[in-house]
Amino acid sequence: MPTITDRKLATLYASFEAQKRTNPNLKLGTEQALQILSEVGDRGGWSSGKVLTELKKPGQSRDQQIALAAKGLTAGEKKDLATILDSGSVPLEQSAREFLGAVLGRPPVGPTPSGDTSVPGLSVTTDQANGLAGLTKAGATIEAINLTTAPTGRYHTDDTFVVGKADAQGRFSGAKLTGDMAMKEGDVIRMRARYADGTTSDWVNIKANTAETKDTREAQVSILRIGLTGGANGTINVENINASRQISEPGAKIQFTNVRTGEKQVVTLDAEGTFPKDLKLKGKAGDSFSVAASDGTNNTDFRTAVGTVTVPGGSTAGDILPDPALHKDELNADGTPKFGKKTFTGPLFVDGAKPADVQQGQIGNCYFPAAVAALAQTNPDLLQNMVKANGDGTFTVTFKERDWSSGRTKDVQVKVDGDFYARSYGGPLYGHASNSAETTKMEMWFPLVEKAYAQWKGSYDAIGNGGSSADVFEDFTGKQGRSTDAAGNPDAVWKTITTAVDAKRPLAAGTHDDGGPVNYTNTGVYGDHAYSILGYEKVGNDRIVILRNPWGESEPAGNGANDGVFKLKLEEFQKLYDNVMTTN
């Protein structure tokens, strides 16, 4: 056993060693890393349980977790963490290793160059002309994600797709990513092996070496995740506003050019494809920066820009009406907004209200867009009638409020304007339409409805920490919402869905909590998330549920276009989903 001086940490680590004796393939992941950090963080009157609760608080970014864990670490505690990292007797998954290393201030490990590479339990060969190939444990499945193409989708850096399986000798070949993950020369591919007992190898990042003669794919950039805020002494703070997802591929270089001053600054992204901690640019409120990217092979002169981002502030434009307050995660420490506003003047509706119009933004309210998209599927006229333009730049949205003593409902009218909090690239921060992010073109009805709902309920924070689609159905239709168990009798669940669809009543479904009874790895479905149910089909003896992710993308593989719409057989639906919500 390695020497760990902290008594509580030593006890915890001894329990991991005991588990490893019964499960030789055990690896410590992020969850165990959080437990480790909670034991070295029990300081200043905080128990380890209190520290763990803070580390796992909803909305905490990885940078915030690292800062919290690193605060006040003693020399002895740092030495104990280094011992676990460097000479511990229980292996760590790559994600846990990088997490603990970041707490100690160690630089992350970048992508592995093209060529043979391996970690314990997985070896990848240099020639991927016919797909990924290598050696692992017999019968293991091979999981992979293309970190070059992932930034422009809503993929997390640890999302994976099953691409192949090893034979009885542990060999695998021809393993391929498809669709928007399809591999090209020079792409950064993250992969691992998942063994029969459910444990995995460490991650391996490789540079793809395919049949193509050269790397022609430029670095993809998620410009909508770049957040800029004014700092001190003529500096601008730069952050990834969605830290669990990428800005670009690992190791990519991003050039920021201040449009006002012409000054250029090049930044290298870390192994997770995001910005280094505490990144700052020179500038002031209202400055705009042109953004260009290079993967080291393409666009090395940064001649081709991917867009422009702007620092909030510097504008004298005012609101017609007061807006609901931002979600707490989008506020600075002093309570001021991290984001500015822009006035949108696009059409209220383009070809009516449709589910595809609805796009969830940077807020934890999936239950809301899932419900609204379901209403757009079953009753678009209701949505078109509840939003009215007043002709003066304002809009009135009419909700329904139920009086539980009498069972009656009354209209609640909420007036809002077309000003929306905007990301640095210009598009809305929260709910938006799919047709455009431009101020004069974006279809307005959904973001206006979401804004009015936040105004009615108190703030974006009030509606942005989870909820029930059934409540939204009730607030929109006046009919009582209800929720039923998705894992019940299959015939009863099928009847609930088909009866509601046939009666044109809205339907949504919620998944189980992350870390709950279902492992969502490789399913293409996300835990603790709400989905619209758009319809059903019968194909032979198969009963099929048609669903939509309110992100407007990210779905199980093999479902066609990455538009968030997909189909599941009823038995698979019942495994993955916790409840079905509709109205009486």
- Cβ neighbors of 230 (< 8 A, separation 6 or more) are 236, 237, 284, 285, 311, 312, 313
Q: What is the CA radius of gyration of the chain?
A: 25
Question: H-helix or E-strand containing 571?
Answer: helix 570-576
Cα separation, 265 vs 250, whole angstroms: 18
> 439: closest CA among 419, 459, 467, 463?
419
Which domains, from first to last, does the chain contain?
Answer: 7-103 (no CATH), 117-207 (2.60.40), 223-310 (2.60.40), 328-467 (no CATH), 481-583 (3.90.70.10)
**DSSP code string of 109-152:** P-PBPSS-EEETTEEE-S--TTSEEEEESTT-EEEEEETTTGGG
**DSSP code string of 221-257:** --GGGEEEEE-SSSEEEEEESSTTB-SSSTT-EEEEE
> 475: closest CA among 328, 577, 581?
581
Burial category of 317 from C-beta neighbours within 10 Å (exposed 0-12, middle 13-18, buried 19 and up): exposed
Spatial strand order of the sheet with 253-258 comes to: 264-268, 253-258, 288-294, 305-310
Residue-level pLDDT at 75: 84
Beta pairing, strands 542-548 & 565-569 = antiparallel
Give the single-character DSSP code of 581.
E
Residue type (1 letter), 56: K
Cα separation values, 207 from 67, 91, 286, 495, Å: 31, 25, 39, 49
Cα separation, 20 vs 15, whole angstroms: 9
Residue type (1 letter), 349: F
Residue-level pLDDT at 114: 41
DSSP three-state, residue 378: helix
Q: Does residue 461 contact residue 328 with C-beta atoms inside 8 Å?
A: yes
Give the torsion sign (CA, 528, 529, 534, 537): negative
- Cβ neighbors of 333 (< 8 A, separation 6 or more) are none
Residue-level pLDDT at 107: 58
Cα separation values, 578 from 159, 439, 488, 510, 527, Å: 21, 38, 10, 6, 10
> 533: closest CA among 510, 559, 556, 554?
510
Residues pairing with 171 in the sheet: 135
Report the chain (584 residues): mean pLDDT per 10 consecutive residues: 81 88 80 87 68 77 80 84 83 79 69 54 80 90 94 86 91 89 91 89 86 90 94 92 92 96 95 92 94 95 96 68 91 87 94 96 95 98 97 96 82 95 93 91 97 96 94 95 93 96 97 88 92 96 97 86 93 96 94
Encoding tokens for residue 442?
A: 């974006």
Residue-level pLDDT at 23: 81
Residue-level pLDDT at 109: 46
Question: H-helix or E-strand containing 96?
Answer: helix 94-103
> 495: closest CA among 572, 565, 570?
570
Residue-level pLDDT at 112: 43
Encoding tokens for residue 38?
A: 């909670």
| CB count in 10 Å sphere of residue 565 | 22
Q: Does residue 48 contact residue 38 with C-beta atoms inside 8 Å?
A: yes
Q: Does residue 481 contact residue 557 with C-beta atoms inside 8 Å?
A: no
> 75: closest CA among 39, 34, 40?
40
Cα separation values, 331 from 224, 229, 334, 336, Å: 18, 11, 8, 6
